[in-house]
Structure 1
Amino acid sequence: MKRLGDDTVLAAGCVLWRRSPHGDGGIEICLVHRPKYDDWSHPKGKLKRGEDALAGAVREVLEETGRSCVPGARLPTAHYIANARPKQVSYWAAEATTGSFVPNEEVDRVLWLPPAVARNRLTQPRDRTLLDALLDALHSA
């Protein structure tokens, strides 16, 4: 991993998806609601010291959604300022496998939505860009 400035917060997450349970051949995107920020986003979180970004992304998905996942294509890395510090979030596409959601202090709700509905529900424009990148990656696979 490249060395960043000491004040950069490193985080990772996934755009989590599953095949629609309705048998229509579509997919659904998992969004998490964080009551602290009252926002809808993709599961993500800060990396632990020395943690590999992909391992951190998979860990965050499990912690926030209760789901195991199979990571796929690397998605664009997000760079922004949070709490007056630069933040870098590495993302992957990931297909949900087993598990189930249990509300917790960090995430109180999850929604599984068709891509167009998920796109409109996402709070941050950068998260919409990630959803578009996921759809591109799935269509080229």
Structure 2
Amino acid sequence: MTTPVLVRGREKAELDQEEISELPHVTRDVAVTCASGPQHESTWVGVPLESIVEVAGSPSETTHLAVTSADDCHVYVAIGDAMSGLLAVERDGEALENPRLVVPGIGGMRTVKDVVEIEAVSLSPDTDPQQLERHPKIDESKR
């Protein structure tokens, strides 16, 4: 892992590869649907997002996790959905160079690769989180 993951909640914490490896890991089979359409089920190993969020303390009013990648992809995952997800460090027995967001039931373009930041946020009920998202590679291909 080349870049630490910044975790923001009530406090801030930077987690490097060694610190992430020291947190409890779980293994989950999760299907990810690629932006191009095919669905792939893989066995992922990583740290439950619940444990990642605990590192910085999640405010009680948290509604979403905002997750940003090294290439500025930025997504919002509802906190209830996020708690079943992982900051994955391995896929099908192979180590990932950088961690990946893996959450059952969210679309493939929202399973952020090369995660550099996870922030606990509170969005108002009338905010559509997907309107706040950025997908640079997809947006660029539409130009």
Q: What is the TM-score with the length of structure 1 in the denominator?
A: 0.27
Q: What is the TM-score with the length of structure 2 in the denominator?
A: 0.27
